[in-house]
Amino acid sequence: MTVTLKTPDEIEKMRIAGRLAADVLEMIAEHVKPGVTTDELNALCHNYIVDVQKAIPAPLNYGAAPGRPGFPKSICTSLNHVVCHGIPNDKPLKEGDVMNIDITVIKDGYYGDTSRMFHVGKVPEWAERLSRVTQECLYKGIEVVRPGARLGDIGEVIQKHAEKNGFSVVREFCGHGIGSVFHEDPQVLHYGRAGTGMELKEGMTFTIEPMINQGRPETRVLGDGWTAITKDRKLSAQWEHTLLVTADGYEIFTLRSDDTIARTSA
């Protein structure tokens, strides 16, 4: 596993990309309401990233290869039992829906990647609880990040909190290293055992993005080749930040005004 430690110049570019990704989530929040389509949300985000931020929406055409079309939209909208990589479409949102919007922007060759849950109108209490516990899982994972910690420390604290609350952790998808490449080493699992896995070092940058299910952890990918859903069709939730391992802890590049965790551990 080859992990790139970022230089101060690269870190500054990632700060900017992370801030832009967070800004998109803040911009789109007021538009998430019953009756709007995820296609409309996609268009708003695309235009904001391209025209206002002068950046590139990383998901658009991502993964294109001979015989395989790339991802067709500029954001991922994962609704209710969709775990991740949901494709925006023309179906209107309805009262009680819960949805993850995942934003990744490229600015000056560097990536910022972040996602959050949105509640469409009033949602059931149990849906709200799943969303809240998943965000707590993310925060608990971030709070163990520091030089000398291990990737298994992140996985264990997330898994324990999810399972203590009666939920399960998705195994097939995980966090990842990020920088001038969208997905690079290391893989950041959201389950595991403390004291195992790669040791964290100052200058590492990666995402933590737990996907937590209301029911069983198993997922399957639909025929479009992208949309992952829970096998039992129960709800899934996800929150994601991009962060840096600093000399004494962490710095979150994608912090938003609605976050309740500090930007840095200092």
Tell me the CATH number at 193.
Answer: 3.90.230.10
SS3 content of the chain, % helix, strand, coil (to 5): 25, 25, 45
Band (pLDDT 50/70/90 cuts) for residue 60 is: very high
Q: What's the pLDDT tens digit per position in 149-196? A: 999 999 999 999 999 999 999 999 999 999 999 999 999 999 999 999
- Binding site as annotated, residues: 85, 102, 113, 176, 183, 209, 240
Give the per-residue pLDDT at 2: 85
| CA distance readout (Å), 51 to 47, 126, 224 | 5, 38, 29
Report CA torsion sign: 122, 175, 148, 258.
negative
- Binding site as annotated, residues for a divalent metal cation: 102, 113, 176, 209, 240
- pLDDT tops 80 at residue 266: no
Let me know if residue 186 belongs to a domain.
Answer: yes
Determine contact, residues 197/150, Cβ cutoff 8 Å. Answer: yes
Domain count of the fold of the chain = 1
Let me know if residue 92 belongs to a domain.
Answer: yes
- pLDDT tops 80 at residue 85: yes
Band (pLDDT 50/70/90 cuts) for residue 95 is: very high
- Binding site as annotated, residues for substrate: 85, 183
Let me know if residue 213 belongs to a domain.
Answer: yes
DSSP state letter for 7: P
Q: CB count, 10 Å around CB of 52? A: 12
Q: What's the pLDDT tens digit per position in 209-260? A: 999 999 999 999 999 999 999 999 999 999 999 999 999 999 999 999 999 9
Let me know if residue 47 belongs to a domain.
Answer: yes
Give the per-residue pLDDT at 67: 84
Q: Mean pLDDT over residues 38-64, rounded?
A: 98
Q: What's the pLDDT tens digit per position in 96-153? A: 999 999 999 999 999 999 999 999 999 999 999 999 999 999 999 999 999 999 999 9
Give the per-residue pLDDT at 19: 98
DSSP 41-55: HHHHHHHIIIIIS--
Give the per-residue pLDDT at 68: 82
Give the per-residue pLDDT at 144: 98
Give the per-residue pLDDT at 243: 98
Let me know if residue 149 belongs to a domain.
Answer: yes
- pLDDT tops 90 at residue 46: yes
Let me know if residue 225 belongs to a domain.
Answer: yes
Residue 163: both structure tokens together:
């399972």
Let me know if residue 262 belongs to a domain.
Answer: no
Q: Mean pLDDT over residues 17-36, rounded?
A: 98
Q: Which domain holds residue 110?
A: 8-252
Average of per-residue pLDDT values in the chain: 97
Let me know if residue 66 belongs to a domain.
Answer: yes
Q: CB count, 10 Å around CB of 232? A: 15
